């Protein structure tokens, strides 16, 4: 498998509206608008930083993964996403290596990306996302 770069860092927030001014006004990043990804029960907001992005994540449902994360840990870094050349190949290789996957097949993420998660218990406690754009 080939990891091309850190695609984005996902940060769970209680409210994008309340959280975005830090990234825009204090840190001077561009705000690219929001997108709701129903399948993941989140609304996302992307802020490009060089070749990567910061992604704020706000839950859209109390039983969604981000709502559960916020309840348990509070706002903070939720996942690190690596862009890969070929996500199906990467998942097959990781499965072969015995790495615990959350998604064996890619799902649809923000911006039309193909995404899949590795289980944080297999990755030093950090939720890792693979994405292909
Ligand atoms: N980072 C690190 N650890 C996490 C975590 C995260 N984001 N989310 C949960 N965990 C840990 C919990 O702390 C818990 O650990 P302990 O057992 O030591 O307490 C363990 O994982 C199980 O957590 P849980 O609250 O019981 O939650 P679930 O097992 O129901 O689900 C997970 C955990 C990671 C499998 C689930 O959140 C998931 O499938 N995530 C992938 C999808 C996702 O997060 N989507 C949102 C982002 C979408 C996007 O970017 O577009």
- Concatenating the DSSP letter of every residue in 90-108 gives HHHHHHHTTPPBS-SS-EE
Taking the chain (133 residues) in consecutive chunks of 10 residues, what is each chunk's mean pLDDT? Answer: 97 96 96 94 97 97 98 98 98 98 96 96 97 97
Q: Please indicate whether residue 130, judged by its CB atom, sits closer than 6 Å to ligand 1.
A: no
Q: Please indicate whether residue 66, judged by its CB atom, sits closer than 6 Å to ligand 1.
A: yes
Of all protein residues, the one whose alpha carbon is nearest to atom 7 of ligand 1 is 78
Q: Please indicate whether residue 46, judged by its CB atom, sits closer than 6 Å to ligand 1.
A: no
Q: Please indicate whether residue 112, judged by its CB atom, sits closer than 6 Å to ligand 1.
A: no
Fold of 3-132: 2,3-Dihydroxybiphenyl 1,2-Dioxygenase; domain 1 (3.10.180)
pLDDT at 123: 97
0.85 surpassed by pTM? yes
- Ligand 1 centre distance from Cα of residue 28 (Å): 30
Tokens 């097949």 sit at which residue?
105
Q: How many CA atoms lie within 13 A of 80 on its CB side?
A: 9
The count of other CB atoms within 10 Å of the CB of residue 123 is 15
48-76 burial, b for 16+ CB within 10 Å, e for fewer?
A: eeeebbbbbbbbeeeebbbbebbeeeeee
pLDDT at 119: 98
The two tokens of residue 47 are 């802020």
């Amino acid at each position: 498998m080939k990891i091309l770069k850190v695609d984005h860092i996902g940060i769970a927030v209680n409210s994008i509206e309340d959280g975005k001014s830090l990234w825009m006004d204090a840190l001077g990043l561009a705000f690219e608008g929001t997108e709701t990804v129903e399948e993941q029960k989140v609304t996302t907001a992307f802020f490009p930083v060089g070749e990567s992005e910061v992604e704020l994540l706000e839950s859209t449902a109390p039983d969604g993964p981000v709502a559960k994360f916020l309840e348990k840990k509070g706002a903070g870094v939720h996942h690190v996403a690596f862009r890969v050349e070929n996500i199906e190949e990467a998942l097959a290789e990781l499965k072969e290596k015995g790495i615990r996957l959350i998604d064996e097949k890619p799902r649809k993420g923000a911006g039309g990306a193909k995404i899949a998660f590795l289980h944080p218990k297999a990755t030093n406690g950090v939720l890792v996302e693979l994405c292909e754009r």
